[in-house]
């Protein structure tokens, strides 16, 4: 940062019945080394002790306030509400079940202050379990290179998402408040459903470069009791991200997609089909699972996969799942496979 200037940062925390995790979240936010923050908990009509818990923090720290919604407007609707509540130069939407490194806000502000043309900064994450223990680390894909100014722009980011999927963490983003209000406005949940967060980032990428801090400053909760965890281990349908990516593949907004980019996307679809086939297998639906694996026999896909270690791992995973479809799997074996794949 320039001199001692500390621009105001709005940290909005969308919350619904978050009493089990909110205290850890708020402790990590009010304990940030960067002090010029305004913390607003946007309560989505909670029926537990969430409002009372926030009131405790507000009494002890005048930077903390609560904004209560009269009725539940859904998670994405509450994210849009957070944009409306944003004030100051920067706005971050931090989730009510995650924990934030004490230097996360300072590091994010420094990145944006040092790159005035950047609209947002993204950080990477570590995954933590229900007890707060680190169980995984996430890295920014190492084959994505920034431009000479150290920033990332839409063509490279779109191509990377076609290959790897959504590797951005929603609660790991700080955005210039004016960009949130003027360029984003709302989460488009009607069109892209649970992938509307990635659409928000794409809308920003199309107009502005962004910065990335490839360090796990966000501690992202991978709780076995969470909705997203249980969804991943039971899902057998095509995920919402493909609603968005299909749209961008058919209309890439000025980005020239190569044959390799499109093949990367086909392999991403194959990887998702393999995951769905695995879940079908555990649910006893072998026929449905086998239909998901037909892409393994496509010669063009197989030849392309031979060119990278990442895609070879995809194919190996697929052939393993295919093999499992043809051998008897007692309940105990299924349980062990389940734990190997999803933990818990």
pLDDT at 106: 98
Phi, psi of 86 (to 5 degrees): -65, 135
Q: What are the backbone angles phi and psi of residue 220, rounded to the nearest 5°? A: -90, 120
pLDDT at residue 231, as a whole number = 61
- Count of domains for the chain: 2
Are both 284 and 217 inside the same structural domain?
Answer: no
Token look-up 């910065």 returns 211
Residue 236 and residue 115 share a domain:
no
Residue 1: the pLDDT is: 57
- Asked if the structure places residue 262 within a domain, the reply is yes
| The pLDDT value given to residue 325 | 93
Q: How far is CA 43 from CA 28, 50, 56, 70, 77, in A?
A: 18, 8, 15, 9, 12
Assess if residue 2 is contained within a domain.
no
Euclidean distance between CA atoms 304 and 290, whole angstroms? 22
Asked, for residue 3, whether it belongs to a domain, the answer is no
Residue 331: domain span: 230-342
Question: Are residues 162 and 34 part of one domain?
Answer: yes
152 and 173 part of one domain: yes
Q: Identify whether residues 146 and 277 lie together within a single domain.
A: no
Question: What is the chain's percent helix, strand, coil content, to nearest 5?
Answer: 50, 15, 35
- 285, part of any domain: yes
How many angstroms separate the CA atoms of 9 and 111, rounded? 13
> Both 55 and 94 in a single domain?
yes
58 domain-assigned: yes
> With contact defined as beta carbons under 8 Å apart, do 207 and 175 qualify?
no
Angle at 219 between CA 186 and CA 81, to 5 degrees: 20
Task: Return the CATH number at 14.
Answer: 3.90.550.10
Residues 154, 209 share a domain: yes
For residues 17 and 133, state if they share a domain: yes
pTM, two decimal places: 0.93
pLDDT for residue 344: 56
- Residue 156 and residue 20: Cα distance in Å, rounded? 39
Residue ending a domain, choose from 202, 223, 244: 223
Q: How many CB atoms lie within 10 A of CB 12?
A: 25
Q: Please give the pLDDT value at position 330.
A: 87
Instruction: Give, in degrees to the nearest 5, the angle at Cα 29 between 23 and 33.
Output: 140
Q: Quick one: 25 and 157 in the same domain?
A: yes
**Which of 171, 203, 223 delimits the end of a domain?**
223
236 shares a domain with 215: no
pLDDT by residue, tens only, the chain of 344 residues = 545 679 999 999 999 999 999 999 999 999 999 999 999 999 999 999 999 999 999 999 999 999 999 999 999 999 999 999 999 999 999 999 999 999 999 999 999 999 999 999 999 999 998 888 998 999 999 999 999 999 999 999 999 999 999 999 999 999 999 999 999 999 999 999 999 999 999 999 999 999 999 999 999 998 645 555 556 668 899 999 999 999 999 999 999 999 999 999 999 999 999 999 999 998 899 999 999 999 999 999 999 999 999 999 999 999 999 999 999 888 888 778 877 776 65
Judgement on whether residues 157 and 305 belong to the same structural domain of the protein: no
Last residue of a domain, one of 181, 198, 223: 223
Tokens 């995951």 correspond to: 275
Task: Based on the fold, state whether residues 209 and 267 are members of the same structural domain.
Answer: no
């Amino acid at each position: 940062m320039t001199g001692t200037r500390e621009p105001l940062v709005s940290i909005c925390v969308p919350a619904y019945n978050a009493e089990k995790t909110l205290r850890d979240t708020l402790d990590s936010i009010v304990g940030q080394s960067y002090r010029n923050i305004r913390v607003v908990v946007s309560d989505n009509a909670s029926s537990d002790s969430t409002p009372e818990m926030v009131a405790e923090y507000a009494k002890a720290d005048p930077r903390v306030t609560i904004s209560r919604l009269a009725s539940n407007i859904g998670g994405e609707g509450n994210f849009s509400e957070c944009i409306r509540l944003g004030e100051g130069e920067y706005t971050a939407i931090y989730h009510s079940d995650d924990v934030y490194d004490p230097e996360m806000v300072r590091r994010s502000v420094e990145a944006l202050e040092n790159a005035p043309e950047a609209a947002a900064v993204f950080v990477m994450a570590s995954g933590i379990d229900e007890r707060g223990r680190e169980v995984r680390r996430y890295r920014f894909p190492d084959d994505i290179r920034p431009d000479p100014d150290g920033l990332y722009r839409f063509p490279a980011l779109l191509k990377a998402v076609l290959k790897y999927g959504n590797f951005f963490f929603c609660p790991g983003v700080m955005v210039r408040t004016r960009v949130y209000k003027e360029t984003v406005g709302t989460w488009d949940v009607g069109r892209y459903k649970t992938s509307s967060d990635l659409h928000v980032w794409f809308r920003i990428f199309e107009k502005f470069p962004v910065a990335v801090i490839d360090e796990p400053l966000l501690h992202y909760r991978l709780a076995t009791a969470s909705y997203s965890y249980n969804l991943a281990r039971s899902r057998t349908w095509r995920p919402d991200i493909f609603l968005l990516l299909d749209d961008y593949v058919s209309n890439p907004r000025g980005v020239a997609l190569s044959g390799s980019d499109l093949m990367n996307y086909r392999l991403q679809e194959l990887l998702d089909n393999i995951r769905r086939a695995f879940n079908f297998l555990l649910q006893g639906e072998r026929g449905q699972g086998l239909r998901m694996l037909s892409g393994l026999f496509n010669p063009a896909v197989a030849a392309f996969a031979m060119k990278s270690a990442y895609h070879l791992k995809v194919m190996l995973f697929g052939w393993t799942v295919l093999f499992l479809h043809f051998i008897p799997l007692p309940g105990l074996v299924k349980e062990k496979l389940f734990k190997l794949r999803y933990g818990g």
